[in-house]
Amino acid sequence: MSQHQIFPSILTADFLNLKKEIEMVNNSGADLLHLDIMDGVFVPNLTFGFPVIRKIKSVSEKPLDVHLMIVEPDRYLEDYKNAGADWLTVHYETCPHLHRTIQRIRELDMQPAVSVNPHTDVALLESVLPDLNMVLIMTVNPGFGGQKFIEASYRKISKLQKMIRDAGTDTLIQIDGGVTEKNISKLINAGVDVFVVGNTIFAADDPHQVIANLKKST
């Protein structure tokens, strides 16, 4: 893939006007819509469940990138497929049988991805890289939007990029947390393919323009 992609995260959207926010994304140059699913156990926050995902799916013209920050994700993989997930990300830290989980996601006709928390070494994913469409490096501690980018993430991005190159796969590198118009160019040059962006977009006076600016970055 030659051009980076932008996945707006509705975690920081205006939930009283969610349909309007999603329609803004529909009319923008964004590539997918990112949904953070939190259970209050794996991360210290709660977001939303299947009924809300189904409603979002009915409005969104972009595919849904669903990021599960939950314990025991294997119990619900089929439910997320039925709710409308196109891409499904599970956390390395919550999957004791990671390869099996990835295979099941693919069997359900979703694009499988695995996320790692800031303290987790990407080297732990080496054996499953050929099975993944994408790896999500958390560049903030998961749970809340609007956090500051963790600078040590650059080393993890470089390490993962080398692993992908050595494995000869076309696995995408995605990051989530602290992405701004100021640091996106450096991150593109570091090797990031996919950017999850929340607060930078939805807190802006002109979110549509911000998406355009992020897409144009080089």
Taking only the tens place, the pLDDT of each residue in 32-86 is: 999 999 999 999 999 999 999 999 999 999 999 999 999 999 999 999 999 999 9
Looking at domain 5-216, what is its CATH homologous superfamily?
A: Aldolase class I (3.20.20.70)
How far apart CA 145 and CA 11 sit, in angstroms, is 7
Q: How many residues does the chain have?
A: 218
Question: Which of 89-93, 142-146, 165-169 shows the lowest mean pLDDT across its residues?
Answer: 142-146
Which of the residues are catalytic?
A: 36, 176
**Tell me, what's the pLDDT at 143?**
78
The arithmetic mean of pLDDT across residues 19-31, rounded, is 98
Locate the domains of the chain by residue range.
5-216
How far apart CA 124 and CA 201 sit, in angstroms, is 32
Q: What percent of the chain has pLDDT over 70?
A: 99
Identify the three-state secondary structure at position 135.
strand
pLDDT band at 1 (very low <50, low <70, confident <90, very high): very low
Taking only the tens place, the pLDDT of each residue in 86-135 is: 999 999 999 999 999 999 999 999 999 999 999 999 999 999 999 999 99
- CB neighbour class for 149 (10 Å; exposed up to 12, middle 13-18, buried from 19): middle
